Structure 1
Amino acid sequence: MADDTIRLRPLADTDWDEVVALEARAYAASGLSEGREVLRSRGRVSPATCFVLEHDGQFGGYLLALPYPPGQCPDLTSAEASDHKSANLHAHDFVITEALRARGLSPHFVRQIEQEARSQGFDRISMVAVQRSHVLWRRLGYAAHAEVGLPESYGTEAVYMSKAL
């Protein structure tokens, strides 16, 4: 699949309905859904690091990312109150639409995310892998950090991971 059909663009106010609906479909059944206001709080704190993923000009998913100190992450039950100053970009929520899953697009999107993070001066990306996604992230070069304690809101199977850029 050609990389030129895939791009990141800044998240716009008009994207929130699609973001919230996709997030609910991805996480509600597992109890990990944050809801509109908590999601929007992440976007308000760091709009320069929140993106829509497009494939052939259509909404293909989103990334809500924000600077966060290494080894720390947002609690799913709390709105984001302040912008952390950090060279670590925490990829808090990365979801691809159902129609685009299992088509091998994740590595393309991740490369674009990593390139954008580097261009903004970040030297590391972290995340909390949920729903057994740590397998995918490990293949993309992210390392698990079992020593990092996570908020209870992530459940017992979540894995904190990171990668140096």
Structure 2
Amino acid sequence: MRHICDSDWDAIVALEAGAYTGDGLSEGRAALESRAHASPATCFVVDHGNRTAGYLLALPYPMFEYPDLTRAEDIVFHSRNLHLHDLVIAEELRGRGLAKGLLRHFTGTAGSKGYEAISLVAVSGSDTFWAANGYRAHREVTPPKSYGADAVYMSRAVPGVRGSRTNPAHASSHRAPLEDEVG
């Protein structure tokens, strides 16, 4: 696992398009890059051999909110909740533990940076994977249709964080323009 660098974007965009275009969920390069730009320290790629095998994008976001798939990020939220926006492993490399390893690395990073909770929107029936990894569904939160008909908002507390509350809904936040984070 390593942080994303500029030369990774062609592979990330291809992986994202391969995973989501068929379901109408592909966002495009500008939106993906904006999400990583909002929090480069919590976005990763995993290599397998000489290729990018997968990636994970996560950014601070208020609990029970989520990025708009139809636009790029223009605000960085200062939140104790980290939203796991995307985790994709190349289809032919699935089942080798790469997703679980990437998720373990990400969760450790979230804890070391003081995040209290991790949220996500499970799409295309992936809620079973997320539930098996400690995430619980919040059926009272209804993601927009752009996430697909079966989208499920889920969250979990970050394990081992001192002062972490068992109820991730208490993760606080505020927001600032993205430009404040760039310089």
What is the TM-score normalised by the length of structure 2?
Answer: 0.82
Work out the percentage of aligned pairs sharing the same amino acid.
Answer: 54
Aligned to 2:92: 99
Aligned to 1:89: 82
Aligned length: 158
Aligned to 1:71: 64
Q: Tell me the distance in 2 between the aligned counterparts of 1:30 and 1:68.
A: 24
Deviation at 1:106, TM superposition (A): 2.5
Deviation by residue 1:27-55 (Cα, 9 ceiling, x = unmatched) = 00110000111111111221121111234
Q: Tell me the distance in 2 between the aligned counterparts of 1:125 and 1:162.
A: 5
Aligned to 2:136: 143
Paired residue secondary structure (1:84)? strand
Given candidates 106, 123, 129, the residue that maps to 2:122 is 129
Given candidates 110, 135, 144, the residue that maps to 2:103 is 110
Q: Tell me the distance in 2 between the aligned counterparts of 1:21 and 1:91.
A: 19
Alignment of 1:38-53 (within 5 A): 38-53=31-46
Q: 8 Å contact 2:142–2:152 — kept in the other structure? A: no
Q: Which has the larger radius of gyration?
A: 2
Paired residue secondary structure (1:90)? strand
Paired residue secondary structure (1:77)? coil
Deviation by residue 1:90-146 (Cα, 9 ceiling, x = unmatched) = 010110112221223322221111001111111111110111010011011110001
Deviation at 1:57, TM superposition (A): 6.4
Q: 8 Å contact 2:59–2:84 — kept in the other structure? A: yes
Indicate the larger mover: 43-52 or 83-92: 43-52
Q: Tell me the distance in 2 between the aligned counterparts of 1:78 and 1:19.
A: 18
Mark the runs of 5 or more structure 2 residues left unpaired by the alignment: 159-183
Indicate the larger mover: 26-35 or 142-151: 142-151
What is the TM-score normalised by the length of structure 1?
Answer: 0.90
Aligned to 2:30: 37
Q: Tell me the distance in 1 between the aligned counterparts of 2:43 and 2:120.
A: 14
Q: Which has the higher contact order (CA 8 A, sep 6+)?
A: 2
Aligned to 1:61: 54
